[in-house]
Amino acid sequence: MFEMTFMKRWTPLVIFAGLLTLGLGCGKSTVKGEGGKSLTLVKPANQTITQGSTNKVLLTVVRGDFEGKVGIEIDDLPDGIALANDKESIAAGDNTLTVTMVADTDAALVKNHRVKVTASGPNDMAVSEFFEVTVQSKN
């Protein structure tokens, strides 16, 4: 019993620390809620995508004292870039979600376009991070 409680409590922290050590997230933002609850969103890696192609973006959260799903919202994508995913949340028990960006063949060419990711948890906890998207010509 103690082992299971220990694992549930510390596994997200160990995963988060590992991601930071590997350099997959160079920043993070945390919001604290009622009763010791917290939600941390790791800054996604900046992306370079070519017109007419796709890119996968890894979104990572760390929950503090709650196990429910985490809502995900992505705003301010460049013109001609869409998301292929149907999921808009990270399921209870998971800490990551991979979303796929799809670039139209005539997507606007932009450099370092700022995209906002917001993660939301219980009791109106919400935290945001930003990553940059560069769209390159297919030629």
List the domain range (segments joined by +) for residue 129: 2-136
Strand pairing partners for 59? 97
Do the Cβ atoms of 52 and 103 come closer than 8 Å?
yes
Do the Cβ atoms of 82 and 115 come closer than 8 Å?
no
**pTM, full prediction:** 0.80
Provide the CATH number for the domain around residue 47. 2.60.40.10
* Number of domains observed in the structure of the chain: 1
Q: How many whole angstroms separate alpha carbon 127 and alpha carbon 131?
A: 14
pLDDT digits (tens, 9 = 90+) for 11-69: 555 454 444 434 444 699 999 999 999 999 999 999 999 999 999 999 999 999 999 99
Do the Cβ atoms of 50 and 80 come closer than 8 Å?
no
pLDDT digits (tens, 9 = 90+) for 88-111: 899 999 999 999 999 999 999 999
Do the Cβ atoms of 132 and 47 come closer than 8 Å?
yes
